[in-house]
Amino acid sequence: MSKITVHIPSPLQGEVGGAEQVQLQADTVGGALKALGAAHPGILNRLLTPEGEVRPFVNLFLGECHLRTLQGLDTPLKDGDVLTIIPAVAGGSGKDYRLQSLKRSIPEITPTKAFALQAGGAVLIDVRESDEIAQGSPAGAYRLGRGYLELRVEQSVPDFNCTVLTLCGSGSRSLFAAESLKQLGYRDVRSIVGGFNRWKDEGLPFEVPQMLDETARSRYSRHLLMPEIGEKGQQKLMASKVLLVGAGGLGSPASLYLAAAGVGTLGLVDHDVVDRSNLQRQVLHRDDRVGMSKVASARQTLAALNPTVRINEYESRLESRNVEEIFRDYDMVIDGSDNFPTRYLVNDACVKLGLPNVYGAVYRFEGQVSVFWPARSGPCYRCLYPEPPPPELAPSCAEAGVLGVLPGVIGLLQAVEALKILLDLGEPLLGRMLYYDALKACFSELKLVRRPQRAYCREGAVFPGYLTSFPP
């Protein structure tokens, strides 16, 4: 018996497990084909007629010689011979052989059957690309995309024992997707025959989802790669509204990164103008804007960074008469104020309106970050500081100074907390304060205690009005 090599063409590679060549032993070409058929059932029927003749659309070569110029199937073989199979092809995809193989190994079901299974709890995954999904997709489907399916699916479908249904445009890509899911460990995977085209033809319900345009997909591509955010999370950010009290040291980094992240609406409250002494830490502003209102300067910077973000300017002092009117249209407030009356006013309005208050404060080389949100069982600012300290014990930055980069650290942490809350990710700093010592380069986490006896955040309490201090 001679040891030979049989070259398998692309259209037939699915019959031999995807191999491009097969090693076997035989004395003749006919014997080699029979050995190939014995090892890989199904391929012989595609090469030979029932009578055992080479099919007319198949050519066989031994080395460089066509079998018809030799002794046909009786041509003897010797060690090292190479037998090449050349079937007729008409162009098309080299994946056809794989499709035929997958159709034998992956269960295919009709859209109507898939719809019934989905209603019973099966998971439907639309593996088409975003431009296709923008034309419509079955309601309730996970829209993961074929390109990143393996990276994203376990976040969306953690149960490997559930029934998973894959859908594409016409039923081909869904077979490849189903195969990948089976390789990942999903036990019951089925492909929807005919894809979304047949889904519509059978009159099954679908929806046209809101999709990001190409500019947004490019800008936020790194967010879209994260299964915890993805397109759905990015759309949520773009629909969010965040109010920043103060366009100074803390408001600068917080607003810059929230705008970069794509938060759809940013409100800026600040009655001050840009001073040259601000520029050491307030990176929203520039030297040529000295004397300009801070909110106007901030708008220019943020619009240049991300022109799709809406900027609302409130060039006024925050007071009890306007605080609710300003706050009520926002999802949260980031407190970057620099005086105690404003901090207590921000806290009290957030308590009354049920808004999260992302708190930040800096002093010389030290900073504090927390989230005050009694509506989610967290403490409020008055739980931590029932009353402000006397002025001589709490000098301002203008009096005590501050390391220029410190507000950058604290403001960025405020932005992180804001994004976590907007995306409902992780654990916000509720009931916890993060304390930063820049000189020691260390963070400390401190537990905060809610004081339910305090009238402002006690459950069922009647709001006592806007006060600058709290009676003992």
**Active centre residues (catalytic):** 397
- Contacts with 384 (C-beta within 8 Å, 6 or more apart), sequence order: 370, 372, 433, 448
* CA gap 8, 263 in Å, rounded: 55
Please report the sign of the dihedral spanned by the C-alpha atoms of residue 206, residue 212, residue 218, residue 224: negative
Residue type, 36: L
Buried b (16+ CB within 10 A) or exposed e, 63-72: eeeebeebee
What tokens appear for 153 in the block?
């699916």
* CA gap 386, 343 in Å, rounded: 12
- Relative orientation angle of helices 294-305 and 251-261, to the nearest 10 degrees: 30
* CA gap 19, 44 in Å, rounded: 16
User: Phi, psi at residue 125, to the nearest 5°?
Assistant: -115, 120
According to DSSP, residue 3 is labeled E
